A and B are shown apart, each in its own frame.
Chain A
Amino acid sequence: MPLTDELLRDIHRRMVRIRLFEQAAGRLFEGSKIPGFIHLYVGQEAVAAGVCVALGPGDQISSTHRGHGHLVARGGDLRRMMAELMGKATGYCHGKGGSMHICDLDLNMLGANGIVGGGVPIAVGAGFANAYRSDGRVSVVFFGDGATNIGAFHEAANMAAALRLPVVFVCENNEYAEYTRRDQTMAITDVVERAAAYGMPGSIVDGMDAVAIYEAAIEGLERARRGEGPTFVECKTYRYYNHHGVQTLGAKYRSDEEVESARQRDAIDRHEKRLIEGGVMTAEGLQVVREQIQAEVDDAVQFGEDSPMPDPSTLLDDVYSLPKGEVL
């Protein structure tokens, strides 16, 4: 897929869609309209957008506890997403999953995951199915730097490499495992070094540069489709908000200066500058996109608020799959 103007605009729309969705979700969470936990993706938009724009419709993605961005980037329905975050019956999971389990199997988005690293073996399983069927699909798994300290990651990475499965490992290194600095939890600087232990080629990309991420993703996807096994892409990114919730500044575990400095590298600003300088879009055009997406987000919020809570009679639904035609 060549880097066309349309592709650049597409990447932009996906990033803005994530940011405006997440900002709205943050406000709703602060206003107690969203129950439970919320892990927002603001700051990391380039990763989801850059990778997802490179995917074919049949490729799968698996996500993390910070999973809204991946589903938005995959083309998720903002209405059903917002409704799910609010625990409404109209949500993607009918209010059974919430923020941490949001999914859209029709879009081959195999779910966010409440267990750090828990989605990695599952993504490798989807990759196995692709290889089993020789259907040319690739499974892409998103995970954070912290997840690479979990055994499941290592088992799954080794398995994918040993069985030469079509999987792309996308590490979003945002420098923090919850509220703990990466250099306190691992003795290496670049997470990609871990891929070498499994014989998996890897690269480091600027996680604030959606185009660089797109190009790295394409390389991994093509390699997988050629039957050459998994690839590891480490994206050096940054999480603007806290691990949980919306607080940005005044945190004990990191300095405000550090946050401000990361925001100077903001992926959306950078991409917009690229669009304008390349003559792909005008400032006015960008503004129109923002307004259109904001209207879509506002509509999703309204839809969520207007939606009913799940009926208590649905509590026990879907514990088991039933054979065709059978009811409990």
Chain B
Amino acid sequence: MNRRGVSPVVATVLLIVIVVVLAVIIFLWARGFLSESAVKGDRVVSISCADVEFDAQVVVVANECDGDSAVDINNIGNIPIYGVQVLRYDSSAGSIEDVPLTDQPFVAGTVTIGRSSYACLGISVEPEDAFRIVPKLLAEKDGKKIAYTCPEKDGITIAYVGF
């Protein structure tokens, strides 16, 4: 029997090559993740979405909006709310409509902690309508400020529409 293994030099080189290849694969995988994520402070913004706490109401006739409909926001939590996405459920058609709003629709700008504000909707609202209000947070992505819309699960559903 004359069985010989690989020399120590070859074994070491093989080991280094395997580790380098693994490192490159992990780096490329992580880079793909990181470049996709918007960041708020030193964390991914989606983590902050779970901490947003607010009350909301859709008002059919708001004097501040010249009699048009409006969405009221009362920020009772510790995360500033930059804007909202307003989704209207149409139970008869079984569809969801995205009410068009600008990124930062609130009067007086971002609703900082403890503050309250409203945004004019400019749509016709019926008292039986149901809405889901999803917060938008100001985040940073690739060095630029962006309005990040939180996942729908972090919003609140409004079944009652105020007058």
A binds B: no
Query: Which B residues lie at the A interface, using CB under 8 A?
Result: none
Interface residues of A (CB under 8 A from B): none
